[in-house]
Amino acid sequence: MKKQLGEATQLVQKAKSIQVVTHLDADGLSAGGIISQVLERAGKEYEIKAVPGIYPENADNLSSADLTIFTDLGSGQLDILHKNFSNSDVIVLDHHQPHGQTWSKLIQVNPHLIGKDGSREISGAGVAYHLAVEMCSENVDLSQLAVVGAVGDIQNFWGKLEGMNAEILDDAMEAGVVSMEKDLLFFGRHTRPIFKTLQYFTDPYVPGVSNSESGAIALLDMLNIPFKENGTWRTPSELKESEKQALADELIHRAMQDVPKELLSYIPGIVIGEQYTLEKEEPRSDFRGASEFSTCLNATGRNDRPEIGLEIAKGNKKDYKAELMRILATHRRNIAKSLRIMEERGTVLGPKKHIQWFNAGDDISAKIIGTIAGMTLGSEGTDPYRPMVGMASVETGTKVSARCSRLLVLKGIDMASALRVAAAKVGGTGGGHMVACGGSIPAGQEEKFIAEFEKELLKKK
């Protein structure tokens, strides 16, 4: 990668006009934040936009500049890029599998080209970070955004960052911008009251605690863990070591009572893992924890406001935090409303009773259908250890989204490939991660898709 990074640096330095095109998910916005700060620090003028993807229809609208930098996308769309950008300089900083022909003016930095696994070892933000430190070693502080990007792409799936990500994490810790602790894998570690994080802790499913506020409070009482201190709620990050240990032991013990035998030994590995803290952010803020930060960025993209996520990733928190909070509030309201709809309607089993599913039609936004499928998993009347498929209507047909417990992945399930095959069988497309994936299918094919998806998942690997 060294050679390409050197050439990319030269192109950036000589370019008179630069545009950056990035993906609008958490990783893409983190990558955009990194490149923006690199260019600003180098005194370069630039434009940046975040897009859902690159298609023949929108490639024409990406205005031409001397140099176009793509981050967290581009490698999978080389043919489209070639058609539109073959006469100007192009840098692609991506971690997705490259597809299509390269050309002489293209500089592509991608871990797959050096035999590294771009789905696990490094994110789009991580690749952008490599250019950042190549341009100037003082950009090492931007490693914190590379950690946020990796977490946003669930690359810490096995409870830690590995390979090239682990090297970036080392940079971040050495620069004092990130700290890492082995801790309970709660979400909202820096922002939520401890009983709320317990209530929303559903993977593994903890009987009597997951999805139960009173159960969560009773557990804390039993363990003598005060959930208030000096009149304010304590967050999980503020627990003492002994309290964390007692809580971890009890959660593991209880989760084990409710899990299929063959999954028992995996429980501790999904209760405890690495947690990353952004040391320069305010304690208790939404930017203090890497996963909370990435959730904020993700929400802006999902609610058609990626430009706010970009500003936040660039560090303009003072000016844009209020708007971000409004976006998050709307996002949470939509989720709460959708969960109430799900409570009324429930889910049904597939024909072989291996998966659970629901079709929300127009009643739940397709943008959050994956989140809702995940949150429905483990709610009353569902089985936390069967995959959940949620569907919602979109203009072009039906969006499908599947979620499952990480325990099933440890057992060998690969929903992304099953979903890809099943969607293709009914004339649709799909893909994604092993525990979180999605796609789109033609309207009217929902039940057929479910049957195919179930059949694929049940195939002996």
Chain residues that interact with Mn ion, rule: CB under 5 A: 27, 72, 124, 153
Provide the strand spans (E) within 147-250.
178-184, 228-229, 232-233
Residue number with the shortest CB distance to Mn ion? 27
- Residue 150 or 342: the one with the smaller Cβ distance to Mn ion is 150
- Residue 124 or 390: the one with the smaller Cβ distance to Mn ion is 124
Whole-number minimum distance, CB 123 to Mn ion, in Å?
Answer: 5
- Residue 117 or 250: the one with the smaller Cβ distance to Mn ion is 117
Contact criterion met (CB below 8 Å) for 188 and 200: yes
- Residue 132 or 392: the one with the smaller Cβ distance to Mn ion is 132
Q: Which amino acid is at 234?
A: R
- Residue 124 or 387: the one with the smaller Cβ distance to Mn ion is 124
Longest dimension (CA), the chain: 68
Pairing of strands 178-184, 67-71: unpaired
Whole-number minimum distance, CB 23 to Mn ion, in Å?
Answer: 6
Whole-number minimum distance, CB 76 to Mn ion, in Å?
Answer: 11
Whole-number minimum distance, CB 186 to Mn ion, in Å?
Answer: 24
* Class of residue 322 by CB neighbours under 10 A (exposed 0-12, middle 13-18, buried 19+): exposed
Contact criterion met (CB below 8 Å) for 237 and 189: yes
Reference 405, options 219, 207, 129, 201; nearest CA is: 201
Pairing of strands 67-71, 18-23: parallel
Whole-number minimum distance, CB 120 to Mn ion, in Å?
Answer: 12
- Residue 153 or 452: the one with the smaller Cβ distance to Mn ion is 153
Whole-number minimum distance, CB 297 to Mn ion, in Å?
Answer: 12
- Residue 120 or 288: the one with the smaller Cβ distance to Mn ion is 120
Instruction: Give Cα separations from 435 to 187, 284, 387, 399, 427 (angstroms).
Output: 17, 29, 9, 17, 23
- Residue 296 or 377: the one with the smaller Cβ distance to Mn ion is 296
Q: Which amino acid is at 391?
A: M
- Stretch (H or E) spanning 441: strand 436-441
Whole-number minimum distance, CB 171 to Mn ion, in Å?
Answer: 19
Distance separating alpha carbons of residues 200 and 194, to the nearest angstrom: 10
Whole-number minimum distance, CB 344 to Mn ion, in Å?
Answer: 36
Distance separating alpha carbons of residues 241 and 244, to the nearest angstrom: 5
Distance separating alpha carbons of residues 166 and 160, to the nearest angstrom: 8
